Amino acid sequence: MICVERIVLREIRLPLKEPFRISSGVLSHRRIGLLELFDSSGASVWAECVADDLPNYSPETIDTCWIAIQQWVAPRVLGRRFDGARDAQAVLEQDFRGHNMAKAAVEMGLWGLEATIRALPLARLVGGVREEIDVGISLGIQQTPALLVQKAQEALADGYRKVKIKIGPGKDVEYLAAARSALGAEAPLMADANNAYSLDDADHLARFDEFKLMMIEQPLAWDDLVRHAELQRRLKTPLCLDESITSVDRARDMVALGAGQIVNIKPGRVGGFTQSIAIHDYCEATGVPVWCGGMFESGIGRAYNVALASMSNFRKPGDTSPSARYWEQDVVAPEWTMNGGGRMKVPLDQPGIGVAVDVERVEHLTVRSAVLSRT
């Protein structure tokens, strides 16, 4: 049984090692929402809210999440008895539209709490089967193709099993051509456009087929499926959807329409683990591979992604890079690391989320906090 008595919500600021440019904006430091959930049994766990500063990826931001968690999400959970974390989603969805990242922060915290209380590694609780996961890197839009090539070469030398290249109009063909020719025919490359194109660009995007990308991620609008289906009919390269998949029903629609062939699962985007598992299971049954996306999580959010990515149908390397790719210093110990073969160990030797939080450092980085308890 789980019964959350209190949630401490905070915002921390973590500077990125280097700014990250995508088609819809640039990020130089991360405002991160962290939660600590306290169970009536005395157990506690950390969780993360992945919403960012601006609504340029999804409509949610850390500020909307702050309000949503305080006013609507936490009150539904505080003091309520759940047999298991799996039961939380229905409670959070009833007559409550959207705010998936806010819901996910608390819902995933309940999964972390259940794992802690039952003394199970989180990966085991969600039904993970892998001891290690394959790791990819997401490279922001660079000043020049030559700079991209250098970054991609370094990434492959480090062992990364997939290199994702952010693209946008005017920053695409040249970059992809340079990467493919420098890295060779076999290099595992893909592109992510974060909604930067329209269907009018279909002929232009069809030119990317020659680069033999593993996939092109979310080229069209953030909430579109119908136009992606039209585009997919005109491309050989598989489309992968990120922004558009906000629930298992959207994954079903993707398959029904032929809008994509691969799904990027980010638990924050879909409202948490129960929905992520539903998408995973549906895609597995339908023969659609999935992989775990990233939102520049701290080591806390990363713990949840790693646990999820240990499930069987996570069949492509995820954007689950090690701590040092993002931060001078993470907020967890041990930090997340990758071996030279591009693999990350799933922490299966300890219960809960598998990393300890450096509470002193979190305190130091905290810019605001709120204690939420049953009123």
* Known active-site residue 103: no
CB of 319 vs Mg ion, minimal distance in Å? 8
Interaction of residue 242 with Mg ion, rule CB under 5 A: yes
Long-range contact set of residues 222-225: C-beta below 8 Å, sequence gap at least 24: 222/57, 222/58, 222/195, 225/250, 225/253, 225/254, 225/257, 225/259
Shorter beta-carbon distance to Mg ion: residue 52 or 192: 192
- Between residue 310 and residue 329, which ones bind Mg ion under the rule CB under 5 A? none
Please say whether the beta carbons of 11 and 25 come within 8 A.
no
Question: Within 13 A of 253's CA, how many CA atoms are on the CB side?
Answer: 14
274 binds, among Mg ion, ligand OSB, none (CB under 5 to 8 A by kind): none
CB closer to ligand OSB out of 53 and 87: 53
What totals of helices (H) and strands (E) does the chain contain, helices first? Answer: 13, 16
Residue of minimal CB distance from Mg ion? 242
Closer by beta carbon to Mg ion, 60 or else 192: 192
Residue number with the shortest CB distance to ligand OSB? 294
Residue 294 binds: one of ligand OSB, Mg ion, none (C-beta under 5 to 8 A by kind): ligand OSB
Distance CA 124, CA 2 (A): 18
Q: What CA dihedral angle connects 346, 320, 198 and 100, to 10 degrees?
A: 70
Q: Which is nearer to Mg ion, 52 or 242 (CB)?
A: 242
Residue ranges in contact with ligand OSB by CB under 6 A: 57, 138, 192, 194, 242, 293-296, 319, 321
Pair 122, 352: CB distance under 8 Å: yes
Q: Which is nearest to 323 in space by CA: 5, 68, 30?
A: 30
- Tokens at 234, concatenated: 């005109």
**Cα distance between residue 344 and residue 346, in whole Å:** 6
Is 297 a binder of Mg ion (CB under 5 A)?
no
Which strand ranges, in their side-by-side order, compose the sheet holding 290-292?
A: 136-139, 162-166, 189-192, 216-217, 239-241, 262-265, 290-292
Determine if 114 is a binding residue for Mg ion (CB under 5 A): no
Q: Minimum distance between the CB of residue 171 and Mg ion, rounded to whole angstroms?
A: 15
Q: Is 52 in the site for Mg ion (CB under 5 A)?
A: no
Beta carbon nearer to ligand OSB, 180 or 269: 269
Per annotation, catalytic residue among 151, 164, 166, 171: 166
Instruction: Find the shortest distance in angstroms from Cβ 217 to Mg ion.
Output: 5
166 among known catalytic residues: yes
The minimum distance between CB 74 and ligand OSB, in angstroms, equals 25
Among 192, 224, 297, 330, binds Mg ion (CB under 5 A): 192
134's contact among Mg ion, ligand OSB, none, with CB below 5 to 8 A by partner kind, is none
Residues comprising the chain, all counted: 375
Size of the site for Mg ion (CB under 5 A): 3
Give the shortest CB-338-to-ligand OSB separation in angstroms.
Answer: 12
Please choose which of ligand OSB, Mg ion, none residue 305 contacts, taking the beta carbon within 5 to 8 angstroms, the exact cut-off set by kind.
none
| Residue that the structure tokens 């973590």 belong to | 14
Which residue is catalytic, options 151, 164, 266, 316? 266
Those residues with Cβ within 8 angstroms of residue 336's Cβ, 6 or more apart along the chain or in another chain = 299, 302, 303, 306, 320, 322, 323, 330, 344, 355
Which C-beta is closer to ligand OSB: that of 43 or that of 279?
A: 279
DSSP 215: -
Least distance in angstroms from the C-beta of 218 to Mg ion: 5
**Catalytic site residues?**
166, 266
Q: Which residues bind Mg ion (CB under 5 A)?
A: 192, 217, 242
